[in-house]
Homo-oligomer: A and B are copies of this chain.
Amino acid sequence: MKTDFRDIKQYIRRRIVAGDWAPGQLVPNEVDLAARFECARATVNRAMRELAEEGLVERRRKAGTRVRSTPLHRPRFEIPFVRKEVEALGSVYGYRLIDRAAGPAPDWLKAQFGLETDIRALHLVCLHLADSAPYQIEDRWISLAALPDAEDNDFSEIGPNEWLISVVPFSDAEISFSAIAADAEAAGRLGCAAGDALFLTERSTWWNGQAITYVRLISRPGHKVTARY
């Protein structure tokens, strides 16, 4: 049995969570730990690097490695696309296009995209269903400057999110969560009362520095996103 870098991680983690090594305190250096575990420094380095990545310790050249004084909490949320999400609930997924219109992008959208110039955009409103009941409203704007092909697609069968993933699978994005009150329109589409508290996910997406799409996802009442860490 060789020493595994995981053993070292676990050892260090245990000493930290047990309080043997207090927050702010220096952790033994790599050479000492390597000697203690009778392994190569590279192995200790891997262990420490991952612990730093996880936010448990903080490393600085020459200064050494120390236990974070205030632990970092950076939960990672898995964001599946709607169809997967619905299917994971054991429900049958359904999709309906509500509205589709191409035209000049409104000013707020240009601002959202960080643009000065006038561009055309495709505006789509769709409804995602779980077992025929409304699950989520997708209110999306696609830049026709960046993706002219979008205009050829009528989006009556497949949702714009799945189409986009097939066209630009990898991109940069900014995502945010908030709570909004249902307006009359959203309430009608989701089958809830106006004023109900709804969970809103907003996402702006770029590809090679160019704005691609902005979407507002309004989930049915009671929606919750969860992460463990």
Contact = CB atoms under 8 A, between A and B. Distances in A.
A66 to B, nearest CB: 13
A226 B174 contact: yes
A27 to B, nearest CB: 13
Most chain B beta-carbon neighbours within 10 Å: one of A17, A81, A172? A17
A188 interface: no
Given A76-B74, A170-B56, A176 B225 contact: yes
Q: Chain copies in the assembly?
A: 2
Given A172-B228, A196-B181, A229-B172, A75 B79 contact: yes
Nearest to A219: B179
Nearest to A182: B197
Interface residues of A, number: 47
A114 interface: no
A173 interface: yes
Contact of A228 (B173, B178, B179, B197): B173
A78 interface: yes
Interface of A: 16-17, 23, 56, 68, 70-79, 81, 165, 169-181, 195-200, 207-208, 221-229
Given A73-B173, A74-B76, A175-B228, 18 more contacts: A23-B169, A56-B170, A68-B169, A72-B78, A73-B78, A74-B79, A75-B77, A77-B77, A173-B229, A177-B177, A177-B224, A177-B225, A178-B199, A178-B224, A179-B197, A179-B199, A179-B221, A181-B197
17 contacts: A17-B171, A68-B169, A70-B169, A73-B78, A75-B77, A75-B79, A75-B173, A76-B76, A77-B77, A175-B226, A176-B224, A176-B225, A177-B177, A177-B226, A178-B222, A179-B198, A196-B197
